[in-house]
Amino acid sequence: MSERELRRNLAILPIGTIRELTLLTDRQIRYYEQNELISPTRGKGGQRRFSLNDVDRLLEIKDFLDAGDSIKDIQEIFAKQRRKAVGKQDSESALRRSLQKEFAQIGRFDR
Amino acid sequence: MSERELRRNLAILPIGTIRELTLLTDRQIRYYEQNELISPTRGKGGQRRFSLNDVDRLLEIKDFLDAGDSIKDIQEIFAKQRRKAVGKQDSESALRRSLQKEFAQIGRFDR
DNA sequence: GTATCATGTTATATAACCTAACATATATTC
DNA sequence: GAATATATGTTAGGTTATATAACATGATAC
């Protein structure tokens, strides 16, 4: 994972900021968490900490709901996205492995 | 100014997050603000909101202090940096105007 | 027309943050 | 070396933000 992706996944934002950035209510944000559409971490005192990715995801949720999708629909959409991402990851690591083989091959020429 | 720079200037982080990211104490952070080394905005209820740039700047301050510079030294260092940035800034006045619009937008969240 | 869904609202408790004041160790100045 | 300045610690008291849980409600689906 790139440094940029790491940064986007840093859970550093309190719910108040999320409320302002997404124009959702606390109630909505917590309800979506309850339905596992987002998974903010918790700070020392038990308060939620969100990442910039959570912001994106909440804006997506908003759009889907506006478009008439239900929470369950959105759960499935996200599940599909995850499955796709896993495939990508797999094919990437396969690619990396085959590249390593190639380089190992090439490396031999250098001896 | 790029969208990325805009994002870095978004004041969205509470002091607790800053404390964790910089390993400074609240006291230090507020003291540096008092000495105008940083200028966090305030949310509706009067609490400080910091940007990612503030985090960078605080880490710089930390380094300068560790290196033996005084607060006043650092004020001057930052003042010099600003003067250097002025020429650049002038050539970006149109973009600055759009930045102000963005901040006005953000300000609205606090009402 | 009843059940479900997404959200609003309210109450109550805890956590986070605020300012201001006083304390202190270290370095600086006279 | 006593007085001053600097950067930070600590404490107190008050306010704001967030937490959970429960009950309420308009809209939609069946």
Weakest mean pLDDT among A96-100, B6-10, B39-43, B92-96: B92-96
All protein residues with a CB under 7 A from any atom of strand C: A 14, 25, 27-28, 31-32, 35, 43-47, 65, 70-72; B 14-17, 19, 26, 30, 46-48
Predicted pLDDT at A44: 94
| pLDDT over 90 at A100, yes or no | no
Weakest mean pLDDT among A71-75, A87-91, B3-7, B71-75: A87-91
| pLDDT over 70 at A103, yes or no | no
Fold of B3-108: Multidrug-efflux Transporter Regulator; Chain: A; Domain 2 (1.10.1660)
Q: How far is the CA of A6 from the C1' of D15 (A)?
A: 35
Q: Residue B92: pLDDT band by 50, 70, 90 thresholds?
A: low
| pLDDT over 70 at B104, yes or no | no
User: A3-109: which CATH architecture?
Assistant: Orthogonal Bundle (1.10)
| pLDDT over 90 at A108, yes or no | no
Tell me which residue of A66, A55, A70, A77 sits closest to A8, measured CA to CA: A55
Residues 6 or more apart whose CB falls under 8 angstroms from that of A59 comprise A22
pLDDT, one tens digit per residue, over B6-18 is 889 999 999 999 9
Predicted pLDDT at B77: 97
* Å between A20 CA and nearest CA of chain B: 6
Predicted pLDDT at B31: 98
Tell me which residue of A49, A46, B89, A47 sits closest to A38, measured CA to CA: A49
Indicate yes or no: CB of B13 within 8 angstroms of CB of A17: yes
Tell me which residue of A9, A62, A51, A111 sits closest to B12, measured CA to CA: A51
